[in-house]
A and B are shown apart, each in its own frame.
Chain A
Amino acid sequence: MNLKLWISFGAAALATSAAAQDSNDLVLDGNAFLTEIAAPSHMENVDTIYSGWRFRTSETQALQSDDFDNPGMIFVDQAIDLWAKVDGSEGKSCASCHENVEDFAGLRPTLPRVEEGELVTMENIINECRTERMGAEPWKWSKGNMTAMTALIGLQSRGMPVNVAIDGDAAPFWEKGKELYYTRVGQLDMACSSCHEDNYGTMIRADHLSQGQINGFPTYRLKNAKLNSSHGRFKGCMTNIRATPFKEGGEEFKALELYLASRGEGLVVETPSVRN
């Protein structure tokens, strides 16, 4: 009975709402950063992928467009100090084995990846160094020292396109991540896809829904004034929809991280990005 009205109304609403991603260019140190590219072929419902940067206000965008204004760089500086700091029973620092952090250029775009049958993230690699080679305590997933270090190492690959393996050994992890992405959870009964695939570009209250890309992580959020891990963000999303979050660093979030990374295939590393 009301269907016709509903449809005509919906069409009018679509025509008048102009809230999609903007058309601004991200330029850093004179280098243009690609923030939009054709979606990888495995994505069935999206034609073009956009960096989360394109969904932010011009004020927030400006903070990421100059490293002197980017608050995430304060934590990168802290990580440079941590890099040289001896910790653990072996009397070593990161610098004892890795002379130049620049040597890690190219690592961030390939993570997470499968090593000896296990899906491994940058946090896993850092903690393996700490426990196996430094004799130090592992860092907690989303604590300041860990997010600072993942930002410093990620920064070495800034501007390089995301390029994770999703076939071979990685396929079962990727499939698991994809299933999680489309599974509705919580009292509000929503999946990642409900907001970030079906409704990106629209406002949910004061928040402009992005595609949920993770090429800028860890990301400095104005909301909590610190660097945030992708798993920390997943946890926040799940809590918002009143779902019991999976564990940071657990198999579910690692699989989801791989799947999300693959949805950003071709976008460039923006670490550390600035978001709301």
Chain B
Amino acid sequence: MKRVLRAAAVAALAATSGFADGVEPKEVVFVDGAVEVSLTGVTGDSVSGRKIFANRKQGNCLACHANTDWSEQSFHGEVGPTMDGVADRWSEAELRAIVANSKMVFEGTIMPAFYIDAGYTRALEKFEGKSILSAQQVEDVVAYLTTLKEE
């Protein structure tokens, strides 16, 4: 029920705002460790998000976070917490904030910010001025993470 309402709200937002590429990284609004508004207005694709999660050139989330949903792949990371039941612990808006820029939620965390494009030190030229993930990729990952429930 709640999910249907949210999807409707996002659809309405997308219809009215009309942004093509989503919110610019520097425009993302963090309030109390959460980003309430979708970065693109387009509902995230959890199937795509699942792939981005494990893709070494994209999210590469599995490098640090174990995830039973990806049990077909070996060598899950241990640097961060497991993703099992992550949606029971965090709301969608909180997950969006953590993926977009975890430093706004956990001070000093090792976790990279996946949706910033400035403020890097000595970034390789090909990554300078670029975010690790696009706005839609962030939404896809968030959509995927919200499916990881245990309760």
* Chain A residues with a Cβ under 8 A of chain B: 2, 5-6, 9-10, 13, 17, 19, 183-190, 194-195, 198-199, 202-206, 209, 238-239, 242-244
Question: B74, B77, B120: which contacts A204 (Cβ < 8 A)?
Answer: B77
Inter-subunit contact A203/B78 (CB<8 Å): yes
Question: B63, B88, B112: which contacts A205 (Cβ < 8 A)?
Answer: B63
> Is B104 interfacial (CB-CB < 8 Å)?
no
Inter-subunit contact A189/B62 (CB<8 Å): no
Residues of B within 8 A of A5 (CB): 88-89
Interchain CA distance A183-B125 in the complex, whole Å: 19
Please name the 8 residue pairs, one residue from A and one from B, whose CB atoms are nearest each other, closest first. Answer: A206-B75, A187-B127, A202-B78, A205-B63, A188-B112, A194-B110, A203-B78, A185-B122
> Is B5 interfacial (CB-CB < 8 Å)?
no
Given A2-B94, A198-B110, A205-B63: A187 touches B123 (CB 8 Å cut-off): yes
> Is B121 interfacial (CB-CB < 8 Å)?
yes
- Interface size, B (range): 20 to 34
> Is B130 interfacial (CB-CB < 8 Å)?
yes
Q: Mark B123-147, 1 if CB is under 8 A from A, else 0.
A: 1110100101000000000000000
Residues of A within 8 A of B77 (CB): 202-205
Inter-subunit contact B124/A239 (CB<8 Å): yes
Residues of A within 8 A of B122 (CB): 185-186, 238, 243-244
Interchain CA distance A187-B63 in the complex, whole Å: 16
Q: List 9 A-B contacts (CB under 8 A).
A: A9-B81, A187-B130, A189-B113, A194-B110, A195-B110, A205-B77, A242-B124, A242-B127, A243-B124
Residues of B within 8 A of A2 (CB): 89-90, 94
